[in-house]
C-alpha cells in the first residue's frame, strides 16, 4: 500500500486549463495538410523499396511484417498530430488570457488555436489527391488478366516464315498506357501493406482491394486527427509535471528547514 501511494505521489496528475476554441477550417490547417501529403508520399516511395521484400510466401509472416509497417506509419501520423495539437492548445491558453485582459484576439490567432476537428480537416486536405485517385480507380478498376510475355531470341529466325510470323504477330502489338494502369500503380504503392497481406496471386481479392481503396487510403492519415485530439491531454500533463516539480522543490526546502531547526537547539545546548 505504501509503495502504491508513493507511486501515485510521484506520478503527475493532468491539470486541464481553459483555452480559447479556435477555427476548424483555416489556412494553417490547410498548410499542415501539405506535411500530411508529404508523409504519405514518403510512405508510398518506401513501398517502392520494400514492397517486394515483404511479399513472403508465408501468409502469417506477410500479415505480421506488413502489419508492423502499417502500424509504424499510423504511429508517425499520430505523433505529428499530437505535436500540433499540444502546440495549438498552448497558444489557445495564451489567447484566452489575452482576451480576458481586454487585448485583441485576431482571426489569425483563432486559426492557430485548438479545435477538435482541425486535425481531421488537416488530414483530409493532405490525403485529398490520393483519395480522389482512389475513388476514380475504384470505379474503373477491372480484374487483372495474364498478358503475353516476351518471345525468346531463337524464335526470331522462324518469324520470317509467313505461317509462323502471322501466328506470332500478336506478340509485337503495342498497347497504350491507360488511366486505369496509371492509377493502379499509384494505388498499389499507397496500399502496398494491404496488398502484401492479401497476396499477389489472387486477382479476385486484389479487385476487392481496388474497390475499397478509398476507405483504405483514409486509415493512415486518420491517425493524424486522432493524435491531434490528444493535444489537451498532453498539455494537461505538462501542467501536471510543472506542479509535481514545484511540490518536490517545496518538499526539499521544507526538509532542509526542518533539519536546520533541529541543529539550532543542539548548538544552543552546547553554548
pLDDT digits (tens, 9 = 90+) for 246-256: 777 677 777 76
Higher pLDDT, 144 or 85: 85
Grid cell locating 218: 483514409
Residue 199 confidence class, pLDDT cut points 50, 70, 90 = confident
Among 49-53, 95-99, 226-230, whose mean pLDDT is lowest?
49-53
User: CA–CA separation, 247 vs 241, rounded Å?
Assistant: 10
Nearest to 128 by CA among 211, 231, 29: 29
Residue 45: pLDDT over 90: no
DSSP state of 177: P
Q: How far is residue 22's CA from residue 85's CA, in Å, rounded to a whole number? A: 12
pLDDT at residue 23 in the model: 92
Rounded to whole angstroms, the Cα distance separating 236 from 266 reads 46
* CA distance to 23, 147, 154, per residue, from 41 (Å): 27, 30, 43
In this prediction the pTM is 0.78
* Average pLDDT over every residue of 172-187: 74
pLDDT interval class at 1 (50, 70, 90)? very low
Higher pLDDT among residues 264 and 4, named by residue:
264
Note the pLDDT of residue 114. Answer: 94
What are the residues whose beta carbons fall under 8 Å from the beta carbon of 74, sequence distance 6 or more? 219, 220, 223
Task: Quote the pLDDT of residue 2.
Answer: 45
The C-alpha angle with vertex 262 and arms to 259 and 266, in degrees rounded to 5, equals 135
Examine the pLDDT at 149 and tell me if it is beyond 60. Answer: no
**How far is Cα 46 from Cα 190, in angstroms, rounded to an integer?**
9
Residue 141 in grid coordinates: 478498376
- Is 175's pLDDT higher than 70? no
Euclidean distance between CA atoms 139 and 22, whole angstroms: 38
Query: In the numeric block, which cell numbers belong to residue 103?
Result: 487585448
Q: How confident is the model at residue 81 (pLDDT cuts 50, 70, 90)?
A: very high
Residue with the larger pLDDT of the pair 247 and 194:
194
Structure confidence at residue 148 as a pLDDT band (50, 70, 90): low
Rounded Cα–Cα distance for residues 216 and 134 (Å): 9
Amino acid at each position: 500500500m505504501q509503495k502504491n501511494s508513493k507511486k501515485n505521489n510521484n506520478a503527475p496528475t493532468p491539470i486541464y486549463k481553459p483555452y480559447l476554441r479556435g477555427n476548424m477550417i483555416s489556412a494553417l490547417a490547410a498548410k499542415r495538410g501539405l506535411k500530411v501529403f508529404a508523409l504519405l508520399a514518403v510512405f508510398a516511395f518506401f513501398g517502392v523499396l520494400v514492397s517486394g521484400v515483404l511479399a513472403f510466401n508465408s501468409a502469417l509472416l506477410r500479415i505480421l511484417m506488413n502489419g508492423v509497417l502499417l502500424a509504424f506509419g499510423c504511429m508517425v501520423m499520430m505523433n505529428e498530430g499530437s505535436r500540433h495539437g499540444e502546440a495549438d492548445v498552448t497558444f489557445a491558453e495564451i489567447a484566452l488570457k489575452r482576451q480576458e485582459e481586454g487585448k485583441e484576439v485576431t482571426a489569425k490567432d483563432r486559426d492557430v488555436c485548438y479545435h477538435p476537428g482541425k486535425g481531421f480537416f488537416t488530414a483530409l486536405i493532405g490525403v485529398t489527391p490520393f483519395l480522389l485517385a482512389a475513388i476514380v480507380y475504384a470505379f474503373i478498376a477491372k480484374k487483372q488478366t495474364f498478358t503475353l510475355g516476351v518471345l525468346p531470341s531463337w524464335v526470331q529466325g522462324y518469324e520470317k516464315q509467313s505461317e509462323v510470323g502471322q501466328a506470332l504477330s500478336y506478340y509485337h502489338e503495342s498497347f497504350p498506357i491507360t488511366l486505369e494502369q496509371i492509377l493502379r500503380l499509384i494505388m498499389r504503392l499507397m496500399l502496398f501493406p494491404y496488398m502484401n497481406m492479401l497476396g499477389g496471386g489472387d486477382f479476385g481479392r486484389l479487385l476487392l482491394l481496388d474497390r475499397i481503396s478509398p476507405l483504405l487510403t483514409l486509415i493512415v492519415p486518420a491517425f493524424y486527427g486522432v493524435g491531434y485530439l490528444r493535444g489537451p491531454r498532453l498539455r494537461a500533463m505538462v501542467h501536471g509535471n510543472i506542479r509535481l516539480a514545484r511540490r518536490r522543490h517545496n518538499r526539499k526546502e521544507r526538509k532542509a528547514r526542518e533539519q536546520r531547526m533541529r541543529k539550532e537547539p543542539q548548538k544552543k545546548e552546547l553554548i
